[in-house]
Chain A
Amino acid sequence: MKHHLSREQISGILAGIATPEEEQHVSVCIECNLELARFRETLTCFRDSVTEWTDREGGSALPDAAFLENRSFALRVRRLRWVLVTASLIVLLAVPFYKLRNDQQREAQALQDSLLLEEVNAHISRTVPAPMEPLMELLSDVYIEEPGGRQ
C-alpha cells in the first residue's frame, strides 16, 4: 500500500473491519500509526470525561438500599391507583346501562300491569255471567233481525 490511510480506513481499523493490508500498513507507517493513536487518545479522553461527568451527576452514588422495597411499594400503590381508576370508570360506564335496563324492565312491567287491569275491568264490567254470554248474543241478534219485535 503506497498511500496513507484515509480517515475512513482509520475508522475501519477502530471498528474492526480493516483489511489485512490496512492493518499491515498501519503497523509500519509512522504517520498513519500516529493518526490512529491520536484518534484513539481522543476517544479515551472522551470516555474518561464522560465517566467523570456521569460520576459527578450521581453515577457513583449508590441508591438507598431500601429503594427496591420502596419502589415495589410505590409500584403497588400506583397499580392499586390504576385498579381504582379502572373500577371507577367501569362503574361510571355501567350505571347508565343499568339504569336503561331498569327503565325498560319497569316499562314492560307497567305494560303487563295495564293489560291485566284491562282484563280485570272487562271481567267486572260484564252484565251477565260468562256462560250466559252466547245466549245474550243470540238474543241481541234476534232483536236486530225483527225490528218490529218487542224491545
Chain B
Amino acid sequence: MEPAATSELIAASMDTPIAAMADFDKVVELYWSRVFRFVLSSIRDRDAAETLTQDCFMKAYRARDRFRGDSSVITWLMRIAINLVRDYGRNRRLQFWKWVRSSPVDTATIGDWIPDRGVSPEARAVLGNQIEKVWQATADLSDRQRTVFVLRFVDDMDLLEIAAVTGLTEGAVKVHLFRALQSIRNRIGSL
C-alpha cells in the first residue's frame, strides 16, 4: 500500500506525534493520500473528496496547537475525516441540489484497476467481476458498517485502531465488520 520509505516515516512520526505536528507540511505529505483514499472510497465523488480532504487537513492545521499527542497523528486525522464524511452524508441527504450538481466518478470500472499479478485474462475477468460486486455491496452498507469495512480492508487498520478512530468499542467494531462482511460475501456468491 504505502511505499516502504513512507511507511517508515509514518511509523517514526507515530512514535512522537507532537513532534510530527511541528512540521505540518510533513504531516500533509505523509497522510494526504491515506485520508484522501478513505474519503473517496466512502463518498465516491472525486471533487467532494478533494474538498473534504482539504477541510480535514485545514481543521487539523487550525487545531494543531490543541493536539496533545494522546493518539497518533493518523488516528487524529482519520477521526476528523470520519466526522466530515458523516456530515457530508447528512448534508447530501438534505440538499438534493448537491446531488444534482455533483459529478460522481464512474465506479462501475473499479474492477478494471486490478494490479497486474500475472494472472490469466480469464482469472482477471472473474476477479474483476467479484471486485465490482464488493464495491456495489459496500455502497449498500450502513454508514458505520462502510466506515469500519473501508478502514479495515482498504486502509488496513487493525481493530483497535478502528475502535480509536470511530469511538466504538472493539466489540462493536467486530460486530459492524461481521455484518459488512456477511452482506458482501452474500453479494459475491460462490468464490
Binding site for B on A (CB under 8 A): 7-8, 10-12, 14-17, 35, 38-39, 42-43, 45-60, 62-63, 65, 67-68, 71-72, 75
> Which of A16, A35, A49, A75 is close to B110, meaning CB atoms less than 8 Å apart?
A49
CB-based contact B153/A54 at 8 Å: no
Interface contact tally, CB-CB below 8 A: 112
Which residues from chain B contact A67 at a C-beta distance below 8 Å? Answer: 54
> Which of A39, A43, A57, A62 is close to B40, meaning CB atoms less than 8 Å apart?
A57
Per-position binary interface string of chain B over residues 26-68, scored 1 when its CB falls under 8 Å from any chain A CB and 0 otherwise:
0011001100110011000010011000100110010000000
Q: In the complex, what's the smallest C-beta–C-beta distance from B65 to chain A, in angstroms? A: 14
Number of interface residues of B (CB under 8 A): 43
Q: How far is the CA of A22 from the CA of B87 in the complex (A)?
A: 39
Which residues from chain B contact A47 at a C-beta distance below 8 Å? Answer: 1, 153-154, 156
Which residues from chain B contact A8 at a C-beta distance below 8 Å? Answer: 182
> Which of B32, B113, B174 is close to A63, meaning CB atoms less than 8 Å apart?
B32
Q: How far is the CA of A72 from the CA of B55 in the complex (A)?
A: 11
The residue among A15, A55, A57 with the most chain B CB atoms within 10 A of its own CB is A15
| Interface residue SS majority, chain A | helix
Nearest opposing residue in chain B for A10, CB measure: B185
Q: How far is the CA of A43 from the CA of B37 in the complex (A)?
A: 16
Known: A54-B41, A68-B24. 16 other contacts (CB 8 A): A7-B185, A11-B182, A16-B174, A16-B177, A35-B191, A42-B127, A42-B131, A47-B156, A50-B41, A50-B154, A53-B113, A54-B33, A55-B37, A67-B54, A68-B28, A72-B58
CB-based contact B37/A71 at 8 Å: no
Per-position binary interface string of chain B over residues 170-191, scored 1 when its CB falls under 8 Å from any chain A CB and 0 otherwise:
0000110110011001101001
Q: How far is the CA of A63 from the CA of B181 in the complex (A)?
A: 34
Nearest opposing residue in chain B for A44, CB measure: B153
Nearest opposing residue in chain B for A16, CB measure: B174
CB-based contact A59/B131 at 8 Å: no
Q: How far is the CA of A47 from the CA of B181 in the complex (A)?
A: 14
CB-based contact A53/B110 at 8 Å: yes
Q: In the complex, what's the smallest C-beta–C-beta distance from B60 to chain A, in angstroms? A: 10
Q: How far is the CA of A47 from the CA of B1 in the complex (A)?
A: 9
The answer to whether residues A48 and B40 also contact, given A43-B153, A68-B57 and a CB cut-off of 8 A, is: no
Q: In the complex, what's the smallest C-beta–C-beta distance from A127 to chain B, in angstroms? A: 82
> Which of A17, A48, A56, A72 is close to B114, meaning CB atoms less than 8 Å apart?
A48
CB-based contact A71/B58 at 8 Å: yes
Q: How far is the CA of A53 from the CA of B58 in the complex (A)?
A: 24
Nearest opposing residue in chain B for A56, CB measure: B113
Q: In the complex, what's the smallest C-beta–C-beta distance from B61 to chain A, in angstroms? A: 5
Q: Can you list 11 A-B contacts with CB-CB less than 8 angstroms, sorted by A residue number?
A: A38-B191, A39-B188, A49-B111, A50-B110, A53-B110, A57-B40, A57-B105, A58-B36, A59-B36, A59-B40, A63-B54
CB-based contact B185/A39 at 8 Å: yes
CB-based contact A15/B33 at 8 Å: no
